[in-house]
Amino acid sequence: MTVNIALNRTIDNSYDVEIAPLSKIHFDTKVIVVTNPKVSGFHLKYLLENISANELYIVTVPDGEEFKNFSTVENILENLFNHRLDRKSLLIAFGGGVIGDMTGFTASIYQRGIDFIQIPTTLLSQVDASVGGKTGINNKYGKNLVGAFYQPKKVLIDSHFLSTLGEREYSAGIAEIVKMAVTFDKDFFEYLENNDLKKTEVIEYAIKRSVEIKADVVARDEKENGIRAALNYGHTFAHVIEKESGYGTFLHGEAVSIGMVMANELSVKLGLMSDNEALKIEKLLDTYNLPINYDVKSVNIFYDAFFLDKKSSNGKISFILAKGIGDVEIKSDIADEDIKSVLTIFRS
């Protein structure tokens, strides 16, 4: 006997990303804002000038990737229970990608899921992490290995927050902007070459274009069964670099910068990209002091580390390779010798 559970219905999870100065909003429910001391020190006053709710509480968690774990999620959950949030209540993630990933994950599990809104405050989270519904935390087995696809109800992006961001953090966000342009939009890449991302109107346009590109990719492939993986361009190399150099040595965006340069060498080797195109990308990254060199101490150790990444499956690693500038290809049949010969270029 078979009983069919008929769940074949379409649920519309669409939402808006508003890129504009925050405007006054009142939420007719209980709200908890999750943030950290650094972000709240700089910007909580401004947030509270704009946001109100029937009841509003602030939960502050320690700052740093090392706190993106179960124990902080439990701490947030404890606060939700203590303040008696119900299924109509709302969480607001107010911070960078760490706060966004962790708050989104907590929202996905509290009473089987309550609404949340992203108010990203770093450039990286404004152009990438806050959009697309990947939420998660780290554990001893690795980064982002526990999580859920859980979309926010809204994303509010205000470039005002970027004024307090350190220079390295700002550039780390630029690396992700370059990633979007190289993989999906040649005209946008040319715009980046010809405009200064330190200017407000330029960064606002770059945020908007990056969000549009990501939104389009996520709409086509929400759960990363295909094209969404292209957003991991540079990341296969970057994950090894982050791990090998010790987390915290490079910011994630900095490791992605080196990773894109390495991936481009592979593209050049396979005839997918010209030397000139690879140089243009390096030059753009270098303009914002992003690292473009790395010392691969042992080609074999670096190569073996690819297989520990969660993107490898059945002993095959997928490489996301730019095809010229503005197009992308996902390849999982590259010969070991080609990969190793590219790694050799990065030996000092």
Ligand X SMILES: NC(=O)c1ccc[n+]([C@@H]2O[C@H](COP(=O)([O-])OP(=O)(O)OC[C@H]3O[C@@H](n4cnc5c(N)ncnc54)[C@H](O)[C@@H]3O)[C@@H](O)[C@H]2O)c1
Task: Name the site residues for ligand X (rule: CB under 6 A).
Answer: 36, 38-39, 42, 63, 65, 68, 95-99, 101, 121-122, 124-125, 128-129, 132, 134, 144, 161, 164-165, 169, 172, 252
CA distances from 152 to 118, 180, 218, 230, 245 (A): 7, 21, 13, 22, 33
Q: Report DSSP state, residue 143.
A: E
CA distances from 96 to 28, 32, 84, 121 (A): 26, 17, 26, 5
- Give the H/E segment covering residue 262: helix 252-269
What residues are annotated to the active site? Answer: 112, 134, 176, 214, 224, 228, 232, 235, 239, 252
CA distances from 172 to 100, 188, 340 (A): 17, 18, 27
Contact between residue 76 and residue 60 where contact means Cβ atoms under 8 Å apart: no
CA atoms in the 13 A half-sphere facing the CB of 150: 24
Q: Which residues pair with 155 in a beta bridge?
A: 17, 118
Tokens of 240: 């090894």
CA distance 272 to 265: 10
Q: How far is the CB of 96 from ligand X (least distance, A)?
A: 2
Cα torsion for 270, 273, 288, 156, to the nearest 10°?
-100
CA distance 137 to 145: 7
The residue to which tokens 């990341």 are assigned:
235
Q: Which residues pair with 172 in a beta bridge?
A: none
DSSP 42-62: HHHHHHHHHEEEEEEEEEE--
Nearest position to ligand X, beta carbon: 97
Contact between residue 290 and residue 268 where contact means Cβ atoms under 8 Å apart: no
User: What single letter denotes the amino acid at residue 183?
Assistant: T
Considering beta carbons, is residue 95 or 291 the nearer one to ligand X? 95
CA atoms in the 13 A half-sphere facing the CB of 69: 11
Q: Report DSSP state, residue 153.
A: S
CA distance 175 to 180: 9
Q: How far is the CB of 118 from ligand X (least distance, A)?
A: 10
